[in-house]
Amino acid sequence: MRISGDDSFYGVYLGGSVVGAEGLGAIEVLDGAGYYQSYLLKLGDSPGSFGSVTVSGEGSSWEQSAHALPGKSVYVGNAGRAELSVLDGADFLASHLRIGVELGSNGNVVVSGAGSTLHSNAFGDQGLLQVGMAGAGSLSVVEGGSVKFAGGGISGGDQGELSRVVVSGLGSTLELRALLIVGSERSALLIVKEGSRFVSPGSLRIGNLHVDEKQLGTVAVAGENSLVSAHEINVGGHSNGLNSSGVLRVTHQASVAVSGALDIADLSGTPTGVYLHSSGSLALTGDTSASLEAFLDQIEGRSDAVYYPTPHGWRSITEATRGVDYTLDLIVGGEFDGYTRLTVLAVPEPAAGLLVLLAVSVIGCGRHGLCR
């Protein structure tokens, strides 16, 4: 079905809609047209099915009721395969969004172009974004697109599929106002590159607290002006005897800024930690520029699990030499005025374990940064 033109509109006011119930299905909303969905929307409902929705062009919009509950949300890949594309200045408003819902499903969402938005309009500002559940999911926010929800998670599928979110390009932004968990159930990846941003006034958890030690959450931030900013960041975690590894990798003039607490779990024998190289920087609040010890004292948990590259492998920043391996400066003016910034100087990266290299191997994949 195609809906096209400024005066074109289609509304579903009772019940739900399914695109790709058992076979192939597609809806296009183009050139200023509008679509209203009262409650449940499923794309790719059953195994073997494929559902596609494209909303494209300035003024084009798709809106789900703000009162839709999580169980009546937008499903991209319920049990089959599905794609949702928001392109070239279009808007998509979803109460809640779930990508890759049931076992064996696969959902892909792309938000591309300046002015293109995928935002939650949930009543009470409680909209949830889940990328990967029992199935696998991917989300690309590229070329100036914007995605904004209250909270959510990224999780690999039950069959071992890796779910990922890629934010790429100047002006591209992902915002989770309360919480984002990377690796909420199984291994998952968040990439922020090429001048894009991930922002959370709340918390970023890299590796959840209630999964087994085989799980890995990875956040990779790469490229000049690329930024991850959050009030709290937890790297790795442990609870009830279970460990979950987390890797935060900052490289090639990218930055991570933490306005509250940075906590690195004490998980010896895992890659859990913060890895800085090639002018990657970590900024924490307050003036602790007098010494590295003062800067690291602000980190909760294992404060020595901040690593820099040497010809002999990754080493704790506590072994580095100021002015040779890193700089430590108070930021004056601008968005992060009053923060102290630790920057590891540009040196060749050493060989590293597969889990640490995972983010870089994915960064160069595909048109939207996705490996298939």
pLDDT in tens, 297-326: 999 999 999 999 998 899 999 999 999 999
- Residue labelled with tokens 């969004």: 97
Cα–Cα distance, 21 to 245 (Å, whole number): 38
∠ Cα 325 331 337 (to 5°): 150
Whether the pTM exceeds 0.95: the reply is no
- Could you tell me the two tokens for 100? 């890759």
> Using alpha carbons only, how large is the chain's radius of gyration in Å?
21
Beta bridge partners of 229: 199, 257
Q: How far is CA 4 from CA 8, 20, 79, 91, in A?
A: 6, 20, 29, 15
Q: Is 356 helix (H, G, I), strand (E, B) or coil?
A: helix
**Residue 14: its pLDDT value, please?**
81
What integer pLDDT is reported at residue 195 of this predicted model?
98
Closest CA to 208 of 230, 228, 178, 238: 238
Report the pLDDT value the prediction gives residue 187, as an integer from 0 to 100: 84
**Angstrom distance (rounded) from CA 141 to CA 236:** 25
Q: Which residue has the tokens 């933490």?
A: 258
Q: Are 163 and 140 in contact (CB under 8 A)?
A: no
**Residue of 125, 185, 120, 128 lying closest to 156 (CA atoms):** 185
Q: What is the pLDDT of residue 361?
A: 40
Task: Report the Cα–Cα distance between both ends of the chain, in Å, rounded.
Answer: 28
- Decide: 32 and 58 in contact? Cβ < 8 Å: yes
CA distance 356 to 12: 47
Among 167, 187, 307, 291, which residue's Cα sits nearest to residue 248? 307
Residue 72 structure tokens: 């009546």
Structure tokens at 257: 């800024």
Per-residue pLDDT tens for 128-173?
999 999 999 999 999 999 999 999 999 988 888 889 999 999 999 9
Contact criterion met (CB below 8 Å) for 26 and 52:
yes
CB 142 within 8 A of CB 110: yes
Q: Which two tokens stand for residue 303?
A: 């404060």
pLDDT value, residue 214: 57
Q: Give the pLDDT confidence score for residue 369 in this predicted structure.
A: 38
Coil, strand or helix: which one is 39?
coil
**Residue 281, token pair as written in the block:** 């920087």
Q: Which residues of the chain have pLDDT under 50?
A: 211, 213, 352-372
Burial 310-337 (b: 16+ CB within 10 A, else e): eeeebeebeebeeeebbebeebeeeebe
Q: pLDDT value at position 107?
A: 97
**Chain position carrying tokens 């595909």:** 366
